[in-house]
Every structure is written in structure tokens, then in C-alpha cells.
Amino acid sequence: MRNTLDTPLEVQAPVSTCSGCRVYELCLPFGLDSEGTRRLESLMLPRTRVKKGATLFCQGASLETLYAVRAGFFKTTMITQVGRDYISGFHMQGEMLGLDAVTAERHFCNAIALEDSVVCGINFSQLEQLSQEFPALQRNMNKLMSQEVVNSRSILFMMGSMSSDERLGAFLLSLSYRYGIRGYSPYFFSLRMRREEIASHLGLRKETICRSLSRLRELSLVHVSGRDVEILNLPKLKHYVAGCDRPSP
């Protein structure tokens, strides 16, 4: 991995620079040489601010640009003709938005900011071309895609075989882990989404989320006040989520 100090210090450029990014290692430029990083940066669109509640892209829109979350928090939602909707994921810094659009070349979901956010955009065709030249970039694309598959599968597994309490626990663990690898505390964090949004994502109802929160609290696994979460006993929570407390069928 390249040391970011190799990069000459520059005044704040008008375009996105990956070199100085907090979550560089989690994103596209990871492992690229300086030439590759420079080329990638030259393709990046200027950083874009997305206001809380604003939509970054819409389901069905043709895929032009892939985005990486630079700062802030997003949800992705899917909506059917009959108005049912589903929150397919939450995305924090260093995570890509729009990877599910590559097959159909149309966005498969809406991306909506849950707080004031900043995204780095890159034209997908140009990215594909560039990744032709830089194996590391291609590899990162593949890994990021594959990671998306794994994430979806994990939630599927949860939905298919876990109780509401366990699902919520797993969800909190996922957030905890993701904050952790970004250098934030895995024990204290704040939820950026409403209970109802958690519920949709986990295939439950907001009332159920409340009740499950209460139960996790009673078990002294977490402390939750409003949107502030404290994981009181991480190993115990992991153990609980793994289902070791239940008789296996």
C-alpha cells in the first residue's frame, strides 16, 4: 500500500483527490500506484454535496456515474409499482453506490442522503476503461462487487433464519464493525436512520424494532438512548446473534 505522504502536498483541489481520503483503503484507489491514482483522480467528478433528504440517483435512471460516499450516510431504497418499498442498504464513507446498476445499465434503487453528505462521482464507462489499464483497479471493482453480494447474502441469511432480536443485534454489530474499520469507536455510535428505516431493512416493523431494542437493553447487551447506541458487551452480543443461546432445531 502506498504511503500517502509520498503525495506532494497541494492546496485543496477543486476535484476529488483520493490520496488524502480517510477511507482510501476501503475504496477504489486501494493498492493503485501513484500513476494509477493520478489517472483515477483525473476522472473523478468534483466532489458533490448532497443535502439531507436529497436523492442522489433514482431507480430506473440510466447508469452514468458510480459514487463513493466520501462523508455522510445514505440509504438505498427499492419501490414497486404498488407502492411497497424496501430499504436495501445503508452506506457510509468509503462505500460505493450504484454497483447494482451495472448489469442493466440502469439504477436498481434510489440513493437518498440521511444526513448532509459528500460523494465522489466517476463516470462508469471511463472507470471500466481505466480498470483495463490497471489490474489493481479492476481487482478492487471485482472485490467491491463481490462484497455487495456477500452483504446481501448475509442479510438474507438473517431474514431467513433469525428472530427479530437477533436481526437487530446483527444489524448493530454490522454498524459497529463498519465504524470500527473506519477508525471510529465500535462501541459508541449514533444511528443515522429512523427506527422505521431499520425495520424496513430487516424485514420488520418499527414497533418490533422498539421492542427488540428493549429486550437487548434488558439483556444488558446494549444501551440505547434516542439514536445514540452503546454496545455494552460486544462478545456477548456476538454470541447472542450467533444464536448460541437458542436450542438449534
- Grid coordinates of 68: 463513493
Nearer to DNA, 115 or 128 (CB): 115
Nearer to DNA, 206 or 236 (CB): 206
CB of 119 within 8 A of CB of 67? yes
From residue 182, how far is each of 14, 92, 179, 202 by CA, in Å? 25, 10, 5, 23
Element spanning 66, H or E? strand 65-71
CB of 90 within 8 A of CB of 73? yes
Write down the least CB distance from residue 102 to DNA, Å.
Answer: 31
Write down the least CB distance from residue 40 to DNA, Å.
Answer: 35
CB of 127 within 8 A of CB of 133? no
Write down the least CB distance from residue 159 to a second copy, Å.
Answer: 4
Write down the least CB distance from residue 71 to DNA, Å.
Answer: 17
- Grid coordinates of 168: 437487530
Nearer to a second copy, 161 or 185 (CB): 161
- Residues 119 and 156: their CA atoms lie apart, in Å, by 28
Nearer to a second copy, 19 or 110 (CB): 110
80 binds, among a second copy, DNA, none (CB under 5 to 8 A by kind): a second copy
Provide the binding-site residues for a second copy, judged by CB under 8 A: 78, 80-86, 88, 99-104, 108-109, 128-129, 131-132, 135, 138-139, 141-150, 152-153, 155-157, 159-161, 200-203, 242-244, 246, 248-249
210 binds, among DNA, a second copy, none (CB under 5 to 8 A by kind): DNA
Task: Tally the residues of the chain.
Answer: 249
* Alpha-carbon 209 to chain mean position: 21
Provide the binding-site residues for DNA, judged by CB under 7 A: 163-165, 194-196, 203-211, 213-214, 224-227, 249
208 binds, among a second copy, DNA, none (CB under 5 to 8 A by kind): DNA
Helices 34-43 and 135-161: crossing angle in degrees, nearest 10, is 70
Write down the least CB distance from residue 217 to DNA, Å.
Answer: 8
Half-sphere exposure of 64 (CA within 13 A, CB side): 7
Write down the least CB distance from residue 159 to DNA, Å.
Answer: 10
